[in-house]
Structure 1
């Protein structure tokens, strides 16, 4: 019962706030007050002191698994959601149906998705070298295959 009251109170507060905002909007728009809008400056961080090798080695197994899962999905059959084959089938279906706008959109997505395969394969190969380096430094085990 309490959660219902809290939800009702929150909904009431949002409705009241929205009503006030709706009435305040046009009045504020009509004023010609030339006060400058405050700009947001990005937070600056100190320059890195190292290359983050220890953290990279720590995350290496998860990174390898994520890349492998992505490659498995991309190289999957047309029944696999996210696969190149499935998107190719959708492109072919759009072309056959004469849906030129959909065909163009899906074909651009297909081009990008196909470009992911060599990029991820290269990252996978690079991680093998990283795993070997981490192992030689005592920062982890060489789990890349």
Structure 2
């Protein structure tokens, strides 16, 4: 007498699939654990230089990006992303009595002001890099 199937066909297929997946995971786990790579070992490479050629090549775009960001940050209250606009939002939150919003915006304002200082420093650094690149005859194209 044949044994009665206790599971419907769909569940039986799903159970067999899960069993096959579990079996393949059990077989693959010891293969991964032995630590010996099956292919050629990838040698850890060290940089061959300081990347000066690439930095000089990207310099005009980097300078433009920093200048654009500083112009935005130093814009008036009508410029989205400016320090002045965020200061206005902090003042609006304070006058509306939204203490939590004011705190959140004040923290963002602190970070944005720090970003201005960082970008100004970066802009000065890029000027000296541009001088160096010109002296070395490195790339200066966009």
Q: What's the TM-score, normalizing by structure 1?
A: 0.67
Moved over 3 A (4+): none
Q: Which has the larger radius of gyration?
A: 2
Q: Distance in 2 between matches of 1:44 and 1:91?
A: 53
C-alpha distance in structure 2 between counterparts of 1:140 and 1:47, whole Å: 24
Instruction: Report the equivalent of 1:64.
Output: 63
The aligned residue for residue 101 of structure 1 is 100
Q: 1:73 corresponds to which residue? A: 72
Gaps of 5+ in 2: 1-13, 19-25, 33-41
Q: Which of the pair has the greater relative contact order for Cα pairs under 8 Å at 6+ separation?
A: 2
The total of aligned residue pairs comes to 108
Query: Structure 2: how far apart are the matches of 1:134 and 1:110?
Result: 35
The corresponding residue for 2:135 is: 136
CA RMSD of aligned residues (A): 2.7
TM-score by length of 2: 0.68
Aligned counterparts, 1:79-118, within 5 A: 79-118=78-117
Mark the CA change 1:107 to 1:45 in structure 2 (over 3 Å): closer, same or farther. farther
